[in-house]
Structure 1
Amino acid sequence: MEKFKKLCSFIREAYSAPEGFIPLHEPRFIGNEKTYVNDAIDSTFVSSVGEYVNRFEEIMCEITGAKYAVATVNGTSALQVALLLAGVESGDEVITQGLSFIATANAISYCGAQAVFLDVDKTTMGLSPAALKSFLEDYAQLKDGVCYNTKTGKKLAAIVPMHTFGHPVDIDSIITIAKEYNIPVVEDAAESLGSYYKKQHTGTFGVLGAFSFNGNKTVTCGGGGAIVTNDMALAEKAKHMTTTAKVPHPYEYTHDMVGFNFRMPNLNAAMACAQLEKLEEFVDNKRAWAKSLSGFCLENDIDFITEPQGTESNYWLNALCLVNREQRNGVLEFMNKQGVMCRPIWTLLFKMPMYAHCYRDEQINSQCLEDRIVNIPSSVII
């Protein structure tokens, strides 16, 4: 455990915190947050209508390169609506990875669909193209341009890769396979704002992408989410669906479909705009911290997770890959007792009681990572 004692000291020195608690990832409010929030309050437009909501969507387009962005109350609602827009219906199946945060599977369930859990690659911790191809070769069949699972008879309605800890998946390979089977790709980019795959921003490769602005993300507005797409019709429908599907009228209340009260409030958007102004600075800071950690870990024989080749990660959460579950548990207990917050990666989704019935492949890499990954403090250093 000696090298992890040194790691504790290294982290404390970096954060100028010789004692006390160091959180895993806390927000930094060092820009125009208070100014913009006060301005939104003064405007009296504090709910889902306001100039900061519009500005937030414009900035998201500027950052990601997507043609359209739609603000939502959180990342889970963004993913849920994106799946519905992609054509997911009740009774369908949606392919995703077994190693992800619970929101990925929940969003699928909210659509009335059932998850299919496939393995990840160790290098990306995201959906494995090889696992995807193997599953589709074994179970998928196209009928009149629609892909079905030959074993269950259900439509394979979408593929949802998740960019784990901000590290981009091998999205080119996933898109190529998806096109062969005519299955839309919806990217769970909740953790990867500021991350790039071959110089293109995550979330913009699929038909739609979903981002999160939860309190622990690289930039935050307390809650908040966003859908991005290059399809005008989908963007317009997304905005309509998330605004209770109200037909525009000066005073009449007419709704033409089942909609959702999912639009981001102007108060949150005001904070989000200020945070987005700092995104480049934050990502540069986090990448520098990751580089420093990587050097320390190399010198001390600790396996540090680095960005996959051909990508530029925001390093949302830094991660160590330890020898086995026993060492993982020992490090977690030691570091947290020292006041340096660390946590394991998520429990695999198919181990949750409500998803135990879902199909899964062998999950060899996912299980290996679940046994070994430990996240360590990753906040912007100020």
Structure 2
Amino acid sequence: MTEDFIQFVRDYYKSPDELIPLHAPVFRGKEIEYVTDTIRSTFVSSVGAYVDRFEVMMKSITGAKYAIATVNGTAALHIALHSLGVGSGDEVITQALSFIATANAIRYTGADPVFIDIDSDSMSLSPMALLAFLESECEFKDRIVTNKRTGKRIKAIVPMHTFGNPGRIEEICKVANQFRLDLVEDSAESLGSYVNGKHTGSFGRLGVFSFNGNKTVTCGGGGAVVTDDENLGKRLKHITTTAKVPHPWEYSHDELGFNYRMPNLNAALACAQLEQLDDFLNEKRSLSMKYLDFFENTKVTFKKEIKNSVSNYWLNTIEFQSKSDRDKFLAETNGAKVMTRPAWNPLNTLPMYQNCVSGSLKNTNHIADRLANIPSGVKWKE
């Protein structure tokens, strides 16, 4: 199967010998034009027309009333949690199968992550596991949720839409509302993904996105926070620009702020990329359907979007029957210069998070040992 897969990928990308990356950026729109325009304007830092335009485009794409451009997705998640008052002595529930930034952003606020299991099909936070943990391990009194093991207040929930595949976010919202917990969606990987026609990142109080170099749309770095809450939207814009009070020449700051605003230079690149989002998504879906057909009669399972959701298929993902089968596949494909990779090590296994509270992580551990991501980028067009 592996040899056939390698040939399939090489035929698709029309690359007989070169390294085939997992997800390389493609610049085939107005990227050079917009970046050159920014340089000529001299507005290359955090003030500029493209930053404003980027925020308008993100509002249009996600359906959110407010969008705040940030330097990267990690900063977006950090500032989102900070704006909700998450701080030292608090805990934030998230999933153990995620990129390190999810847990790091929680820790930046002074809070500790609590790791809950995923659903095997969505690979995102399990609403059933979440509800079971809150009902059995926590006390809900006077609208405050307290972890009975640690005595700390649980302040928020951060589900992550893994590899662009939407999780059961509507069910997670119901649990969050039941326990009056703030919901922040880590949608770093899911630009262009939907649940029942609604864009990921728009279900909770806040949603965050990443535009890193390996994302569906990139500007090198870059991130965004979206929300429908007017007060949060205005405050986020204020504190991401060092909490500077507007004035023609004076520098006055009225609270602790952060230098998290996206530079205009990056925003120019992002705008050119966002103009191509629909084309990128269509091409990525076409590739995913080809992968689905390829793996249909094999012992490998292609991870499809779950019911009532539309995935952007940021990183196509397959599941093997055993860790040894997966590891052999990784070795053979990378040896043939076709880049594949395993899922991240579960966050609760990393040294800085080993002492954090975790629920049962049966699905997490099973999936982490058997998953592989395969080439998923769009092709350059001549």
TM superposition score category, shorter chain reference:
over 0.9
Identity fraction in percent: 54
Q: Which residue of 1 aligns with 2:193?
A: 195
CA contact (8 A) 1:75 1:224 kept: yes
Q: Helix, strand or coil: the match of 1:148?
A: strand
Q: Which residue of 2 aligns with 1:5?
A: 3
Q: Which residue of 2 aligns with 1:51?
A: 49
Cα distance in 2 for partners of 1:139, 1:86 equals 23
Q: Compute the displacement of 1:377 (Å).
A: 0.3
Q: Which residue of 2 aligns with 1:375?
A: 373
Q: Which residue of 2 aligns with 1:155?
A: 153
Q: Which of 133, 136, 139 is matched with 2:134 structurally? A: 136
CA contact (8 A) 2:240 2:258 kept: yes
Q: Helix, strand or coil: the match of 1:185?
A: strand
CA contact (8 A) 2:241 2:257 kept: yes
Asked if residue 89 in structure 1 is aligned to residue 87 in structure 2, the reply is: yes
Q: Which residue of 1 aligns with 2:321?
A: 323
Q: Which of 275, 281, 284 is matched with 2:282 structurally? A: 284
Aligned ranges 1:99-138 → 2 under 5 Å: 99-138=97-136
Q: Compute the displacement of 1:254 (Å).
A: 0.8
Instruction: Give TM-score scaled by structure 2 length.
Output: 0.98
Unaligned runs of 5+ in 2: none
CA contact (8 A) 2:300 2:321 kept: no
Superimposed CA distance per residue, residues 35-94 of structure 1 (whole angstroms, 9 cap, x where no aligned partner): 000011111100000000000000000000000000000000000011112221111000
Q: Which residue of 2 aligns with 1:36?
A: 34
- RMSD over equivalenced CA pairs, Å: 0.8
Q: Which residue of 2 aligns with 1:347?
A: 345
Cα distance in 2 for partners of 1:254, 1:10 equals 59
Cα distance in 2 for partners of 1:333, 1:139 equals 41
Give 4+ residue runs of structure 1 displaced > 6 Å after superposition.
none
Q: Which residue of 1 aligns with 2:167?
A: 169
Q: Compute the displacement of 1:145 (Å).
A: 1.8
| Residue identity opposite 2:287 in structure 1 | W
Cα distance in 1 for partners of 2:156, 2:227 equals 15
Q: Which residue of 2 aligns with 1:336?
A: 334
| Residue identity opposite 1:335 in structure 2 | T
CA contact (8 A) 2:26 2:379 kept: no
| Residue identity opposite 1:190 in structure 2 | A
Q: Which of 38, 58, 61 is matched with 1:60 structurally? A: 58
Cα distance in 2 for partners of 1:251, 1:57 equals 25
| Residue identity opposite 1:113 in structure 2 | A
Superimposed CA distance per residue, residues 223-257 of structure 1 (whole angstroms, 9 cap, x where no aligned partner): 00000000011011101111001111111111111
Cα distance in 2 for partners of 1:300, 1:349 equals 31
Unaligned runs of 5+ in 1: none
Cα distance in 1 for partners of 2:286, 2:84 equals 37
CA contact (8 A) 1:215 1:223 kept: yes
Q: Which residue of 1 aligns with 2:362?
A: 364
Cα distance in 1 for partners of 2:84, 2:128 equals 23
CA contact (8 A) 2:340 2:375 kept: yes
CA contact (8 A) 2:299 2:320 kept: no
CA contact (8 A) 1:97 1:126 kept: yes
Instruction: Give TM-score scaled by structure 1 length.
Output: 0.98
